[in-house]
Structures are given as structure tokens and as C-alpha cells.
Structure 1
């Protein structure tokens, strides 16, 4: 799994000031080596996501001959040589095959999922180091029943059936079964994504759809990764950490004053709120269809033809009528906020250069799903989504491939907009000045 960048306290690097006659002690020699290690780790941590570089395969083996008979139970695996980089930028080198026994057992009724983890071990932190000129950086292999921690690299997972069973290779490596090696979730080291998006959803279906959208970003927009959480409704905690919050219109209208003020506080701190509304059976869907038909007809008609002006006039009238209907729909949200004593600015149709229509994917018109042309209204941190955009993201509903891809690209535009807005809001927010800031001002003045 891709992880966000671990933000450490900012401390400038310090290195030895070399001059003639400097006495090289063990402490100073260690300081010189530590300086280069810290720089290397920071480079790996900043540029690469943690994962396996190559090798580190896992296979089922017989118990080694030196093992006593009570442990010859068909639960031995072998980790192959290989290389990985952890989340702190430490390279982990496994130089030779390692035999390991899976000791966990499932309960009598429920299977248990076991994880085989690789972790870097700093030899300087080991006790009773031998007296020798060099020490070897090493690693540790652990077996856990919890998801990988921040310093761990997953090598394999196994879902153990109740009772005692022998391990076996997966017959179908794409869909492993009980007691079979599952290698599907091994992270591969790669260039770190620059856009990390935190999404909060208030329904299980929306949570699954946004997770599918982020999965599609691996191929469509590799710069982006993120995490989606299913939140309890109504709001019971701060949501300012999220880049994007997704609610239905019914949920939005059900918010009380305290929850609404919590949302507006999040918007002020850079969070983007999506309020989604289905247009099934509404006049807006019909008007959008007519508008699209007139637009297509206008493109196929020459300006010299007599019908061109008539089509253009009809298109203008339909567009104006559509704008009125859309404002009426959005007025419900504004009225609800007004009743709670909260003012929000009027949302507008997107211009051709709006980031939601241009970054990273260009749209001249939005897709149509379930005979509902998608429409977005935007008022700073509030996006009013009209139409079922998310239904095509997870493949549960059959749609043509073009419709799926177009809806995914528009969804990525929404995530990108939310990430940009949160980032820029955070960058211009004032923070307490560090004590050493005056030193830098004097140095560079």
C-alpha cells in the first residue's frame, strides 16, 4: 500500500568543518558517516515510495533437516534473496534464502489472516555488538496478524483456515484460497506520488466507489495516491484533515447548525465538500439532453445556412432555462444554510478554463450516465454535483468503456482540485515562527 510522506521535524543537516590539524576521533568519524546516511535516507524517503525493489519471493518448503520432528508440520516458507526500501529510506538487503515457520493458528470457528513482514534493523541499536572493524546492517522477519506498520514491508499474507492445515502454493495466484500464499499485496518500490489525497465519505457505497477511483489513478494519473475513510453520520468529530468530503444532498440538508459550522470551518481550512444529487426524473436531465442535441446540431450546421441562427437562438434559450433550474436546485442548499444563520456564496456553472474542466484532463462537456448529463456547480470549497458520476467508477454497473474512462477522468479532476485547494490554503496559512528564524533572516539579509 502506498503511504503518505512521513513529515519529520525540520532540522538542518550538520557536517564536520574540516581543517588542518583536526583530530579525527571515533565520535567525529561516526558523525561524518551519520551525515551521509541521513542525506541518503532523506533522498530515498522523498523520491521513492517504500516497497520491494526486486526478489524477496516466498515459497512453501519442507522443514529443514535440523528441525525437530514436532515442528515438521508443513508450515515452513522460504524468503528468497532480494532488496527493498522502507518508509524511512533505509535499504534492506536479504543476501541469502531465509527459512521461516508460520506459527499462528486460526480459532476453532474463524479463519485468521497472517502477514509476513520485513523490517530494517539498525546495528547501532543492537546490544552486545562484537568487537570488530565492521558491522553489517541487518533485518528482521516477523509474523503478525495486523496490517503492516509504518516501518514494515509486506512479503506475503496467508488466510489460515480453522484447525491445523499445511501451507501450499496458490493454485490460482490471482485469487488465492485458504492456507495458500497470497502475494497480491506486496508493495513495489516506485517514484513517490506528489499528490496525496484524504477522502471522507458518509456511506459505504461512496467509500467503495472512491477507493475504486483512486485505484484507477494508478494507471490514469500516477502522480496521485490517497486514502478513503468511511465516516459516521452525522458529524461527530473534526474533519479538517480531509481534502475532500462527500455527502448526498439529503445528508447535507439533514445537518444541524453545529455540524454545518464544522463543515464551513473545514472549507475555510482548505477542505472541499461535494454535495451529490441524482437528477433521475427531473426537468434538468431533459433540458441537458436537449441542450446537448442542439449543441451537436450547431456544430454540424454551417453559419451560412438559414437554420444556423434559429438553432443558435434556441440553444441560448435552453441554456438560460437550464441555468435557472440549476440555480433553483442549488437554492435549496443556500436556503438550508441561511436558516442556520450561515451564508454561502452563489454557485455557478463552470467556465471553460475552470480547473475542474481542465486539470489534469480537459473537458469541453461532461459525460452522460444513466441518461443524466453530469453537471458541476462550484462555490469556492463547495461543489454541487448533479448526476450519478460515481456509479461508473467501480465496475459494478455495466457501462461502455468510454463512459467508464470519462467518468474516472472527471473524478480525478475533482480529487486534483481538492488536493490543490487544500495545499494552497495550507501554504498561505500563518504558523508560529520558529525560534531560529531570526538567524536565517540575518544570514540572508
Structure 2
């Protein structure tokens, strides 16, 4: 699952109605006064929470209503259960029992391959021109919709359904956690909850397709991506203050792409050694601007490790300190998890050096962040490796945060 991050509230100043004796009240002024408090409420929610489902809003299959035309009496009908959600701006989306909650999927099947349909609910502003009501009370409405692109920030996903060429006959999932084509998929519904302090993003360098060793190197890169994804999945469970973006960015340094969106750039020792002058400069600028470079010495090649260390010193202008030489209150050692010593994984000690925006790691740390077919790793070692990895992510996020605050 890809964690979704939501924007902070806009930095627009608040303006409220100026009250004075003799003020004549009219609809515009009344609306201005109430909009002020609505906006304060929305900003408060958006600052501390993230959108999602509060309760209910399940999705079930139903037979086509008897009153619909024969051409629409098919197995595309759904009914949304009553419930409440909150959108990104803090607007409550209330789906009540009295409102018609039946819905028929209208999306046409693809000619080839598969297509994912997203069923979403969103808040409708009761003051919109197309929803004027002739009564003293104005109801706040909701909108059910289907789309073939992921939900935007103001939409809350209820379910998704994958369809393929041919007729669409919706079914309940045979396996609830592994739905198939035409089956309801409710695995990606987001619950409303407290907003994490930050979402940490990680990138790695794409392998060049013109490289004669591309296939083998891409396999190694895929394994690294998988390990990084395991680490990012563990963040919200082990340290809920942060959230990890499980989709690992794939960037190219030639021409240099925007690395500023990422807190950490993952490189192997081989990748570092093979960078050209322009790419080295891009990496140098990235760490000078607050980014953290994690260099994973997975090759177990002493000569390659020595060359990588020389590049770090001469090209990246960074002096590395061994873990034991770091101060006792260094964030890599203490935040958020305390490490008195580095772990031993797969009977090999993990070693870490740090200097400025560079961390050099030897051992099987990244291999122990998740399942690894080539190694048997004890569960306790996996947890220890993930906690140490979260310390690295926390260090990367904190370093980049401070760098941005002084720019």
C-alpha cells in the first residue's frame, strides 16, 4: 500500500467581521461571520489530522432496483452503508440512512488489459449555485462518484474494483485480503486519524538501460527497492510520529532530476564509484542542501569500499566518523530508538560511519529490513534492523527539516 500524504492548510490570513454598535445585519455579513469560524475549524482539523473514514460507509452488492429500465438491470449495482467521513479540509461527509445510497457503476470495460475503478465520496458545499434550496435550513450534502484515476485530496475512497474486457458482474471477494477481477476491494480505505509529523521519502538511482550488465544490476536494484519498501512500511507501526512513503522514488542524475523532494538518497558503493563528475556534483549539492545520502556497501569488496570512502572525502568533502566515535547524544544513536551498540546480523557485524549528510553502512542492515530469500534472518534481527533504519530516516528528515527552515 502506498501511503498518501496530504497538504498542510494554506497560509492565508484570517479576516472576520468587524462588530460595532448599530451594525445592520444582512445575509452577506451573516455568511461572512459564519465562514470565518468554519475556516478556523477546517484549518485546525487539517493541521492536526488527516482525512478518511470515521465509521460505516461499507459497500455491498445489491440486485438492480425493480423500477430501473431493463437495460440497467445487471450486476453492477452497489449500496453504500450509512456512515461518516471527513475530507482534507475538515468538512464532515455524512451519509445518512434516509438518503438513496444505491449506485450503479457506469464505467465501460477496457478493450485490453485491466482497469481499476475507484468509488469515492466527497463533500458538497450547500452554498453552491446549483444546490439552492427554498427553506430556512440548508443541508450539507455528499457526492458519490466513480473514477479511473486515484482519488484526489478532497475525495475519500470507499472501495476499488478491477475490471477487464467482457461483461462486468460484481462479486464479493472470495479472499477478503486478495480480491480478484470484478470483486470488491476495500483494502485501501483510509481511516481518519492524527496527522503524522512528517512523511519521509526515499529515492534511489535508476540503473542505465544501456549498461551491458543492466539485467543483473536491475535485479539488485529491485531487491534494494523491496528492502526499502519494507522499511518504509514499518515506520508508521514502530514510530507513528513519522510516516514512510512506501513508493521508492527512482531518479536519474544525468540530467540531474529534482532530488529536493526526497529526504534520503540510497546508493550502493558500486553506484557511488561509477558516478561521473556531473553526477557527483549533483549528489554533493543534494547533501549540502540538507539531503542525506545513505551508501550501502553491499558488494563486500574491500577495494570498492576504499574507493567509495575516498570519493566521500575528496569529492563530497565529508569526513566520516565511526559509530563509536559519535557523541552519546547523536540522533543516530538516540532518536527515536536507543542503540548502545550496533547489531550483528547474519553473523556479520553492521558498521556505520557518518559525516554531515553522508552515512556509510557495511553489513546486512538493508537485507534485514524485510523478507530476504537469500538469507535466513531471525525476527528479532529484523525488528532491530528496522529500528536502526528508522533512526536513519529520522535523522534524514530532521536534517532536511532544519535545512529548509534556514533557507
Q: For 1:375-430, what per-residue CA distance to the aligned partner results, in whole angstroms no more than 9, with x for missing partners?
A: 1110110111112212222324442110111011111111100010011111122x
Q: Which moved more, 1:374-383 or 1:397-406?
A: 397-406
Greater fraction of residues in helix? 1
Structure 1 residues 6 and 108 mapped into 2: Cα distance closer, same or farther (>3 Å)?
closer
Instruction: Answer whether contact 2:270 2:299 (CA < 8 A) is retained.
Output: no
> What is the match of residue 211 of structure 2?
none
2:18 matched to 1:17? yes
What does residue range 136-175 of structure 1 map to in structure 2 within 5 Å?
Answer: 136-175=139-178
Q: Which has more radius of gyration?
A: 1
Q: What TM-score results when the alignment is normalised by the length of structure 2? A: 0.88
Deviations 1:300-344 (A, max 9, x none): xxxxxxxxxxxxxxxxxxxxxxxxxxxx876523533677xx351
**What is the DSSP-based 3-state SS (H/G/I as helix, E as strand, rest coil) of the residue aligned with 2:279?**
helix
Name stretches of at least 5 consecutive residues in structure 2 with no aligned partner. Answer: 206-220
> Are 2:266 and 1:246 aligned?
yes
| CA distance in structure 2 between the partners assigned to 1:254 and 1:68 by the alignment | 66
The residue aligned with 1:265 is: 285
Note closer, same or farther for the CA distance 1:357–1:329 as it changes in structure 2 (3 Å cut): farther
SS where residue 123 of structure 1 aligns?
coil
User: 1:351-392 CA distances to partner (integer Å, 9 max, x unpaired)?
Assistant: 243211111011112222233211111011011111221222
Normalised to the residue count of structure 1, the TM-score between the two structures is 0.81
Partner residue of 2:225 out of 186, 194, 207: 207
Corresponding residue number in structure 1 for 2:310: 335
Asked if 1 retains the 8 angstrom alpha-carbon contact of 2:109 and 2:168, the reply is no
CA shift, 1:141, in A, is 1.2
Aligned to 2:240: 222
Show structure 1 runs of 5+ residues with no match.
Answer: 283-327, 430-445
Secondary structure, counterpart of 2:248 in structure 1: strand
Contact 1:51 1:190 in 2 (8 A): yes
Partner SS state of residue 94, structure 2: strand
| RMSD, aligned α-carbons | 2.1
Match of 2:365 in 1: 389
CA offset digits 1:23-77 (Å, max 9, x no partner): 1121111111100110111111111111100000000110111111111111101
Question: Following the alignment from structure 1 to structure 2, what is the Cα–Cα distance between the partners of residues 109 and 12?
Answer: 50
SS at the partner of 2:44?
helix
Is residue 274 from structure 1 mapped to residue 294 from structure 2 by the alignment? yes
Residues 2 and 49, structure 1, Cα contact 8 Å, conserved in 2: no
Cα 1:280–1:338 shift into 2, 3 Å: closer
Q: How many residues were matched structurally?
A: 382
The secondary structure found in structure 2 opposite 1:231 is: strand
